[in-house]
Amino acid sequence: KPAVLFLWLFLCLRSVSAPGSPNRRESLADEMSPGLDGRSQRRQLSNRLHDLSALHPALSRAARAEVQAVTFDTDLAAGDGAYVVDIVLLRELAERGRQDKRYADTDVADVERLLEDCRGEVLPEWDALNDRITKRRGTGDELIADIRGRHTEDLATVSLALAQTYLETGSSPRAADLLKRVLDYKPDREDVARRLVAA
């Protein structure tokens, strides 16, 4: 059901955008069914949460409905390889890249694979879903804009750290390709342009 998909994605994106922030049931009910009276909103949310809990465990285990709030665990959503949320994994790789400035040689193939998987637009189906479910009267537009902006930052960070890894192993052509990609994401990075010339 589109409404259940939208709820799952909204919870997932909120947990990526604002980790640890609670999703209060009342505000979530209003978000999912804007324009309805409070009682109808709460009933619809309860029905959608029930439908969500009936999904395959790879999806349903990440969301947990409590009396006052609904929580979402991105580790469970991405764990065990059963259902991988690429934007979550990319965020983790970007954090490692910011700290270490490179990746271990043994991680290069996995980083390359994830970069390739994440190059497209984040959730292109979101806009149609948001329009269908909420008529764009909630915070969905702001949420996806934040996620897409962060995703571009993460792609640039991971590409830069991977380029450094290749430079250190003497693979300048691949490093140059990655540095060009960073400049596509962040054209104002003069430091990256200088590294590209050096590569």
pLDDT digits (tens, 9 = 90+) for 86-99: 888 898 899 999 99
> pLDDT grade, residue 122 (50/70/90)?
confident
| Amino acid residing at 91 | R
Longest dimension (CA), the chain: 64
Q: Is 65 helix (H, G, I), strand (E, B) or coil?
A: strand
> For position 61, what pLDDT does the model report?
87
Nearest to 157 by CA among 173, 179, 172: 179
Q: Is 134 helix (H, G, I), strand (E, B) or coil?
A: helix
> For position 57, what pLDDT does the model report?
85
Please write the tens of the pLDDT for every residue from 160-182.
999 999 999 999 999 999 999 99
Measured CA to CA, the distance from residue 127 to residue 143 in angstroms comes to 11
Measured CA to CA, the distance from residue 92 to residue 154 in angstroms comes to 9
Give Cα separations from 176 to 26, 58, 102, 166, 193 (angstroms): 50, 38, 15, 9, 10
What is the H or E stretch that residue 45 is in?
helix 38-53
Which residues share a beta bridge with 72? 63
> For position 162, what pLDDT does the model report?
97
> For position 94, what pLDDT does the model report?
95
Please write the tens of the pLDDT for every residue from 127-160.
999 999 999 898 999 999 999 999 999 999 999 9
* Helix 126-134 and helix 140-168, axial crossing angle in degrees, nearest 10: 160
Please write the tens of the pLDDT for every residue from 21-71.
889 999 999 999 988 899 999 999 999 999 988 888 878 888 889 889 999
Contact call for residues 115 and 166 (beta carbons, < 8 A): no
Interval 92-108 mean pLDDT: 95
Interval 76-85 mean pLDDT: 57
Across 15-136, the runs of DSSP E, i.e. the strands, are 23-24, 63-65, 69-72
Taking the alpha carbons of 36, 39, 45, 48 in that order, is the dihedral positive or negative?
A: negative
pLDDT at 81 > cutoff 50: no
- The pTM for the full model equals 0.81
Average pLDDT over the chain reads: 90
pLDDT at 82 > cutoff 70: no
Contact call for residues 10 and 123 (beta carbons, < 8 A): no
Taking the alpha carbons of 127, 129, 130, 132 in that order, is the dihedral positive or negative?
A: positive
Give Cα separations from 190 to 29, 101, 179 (angstroms): 46, 17, 11
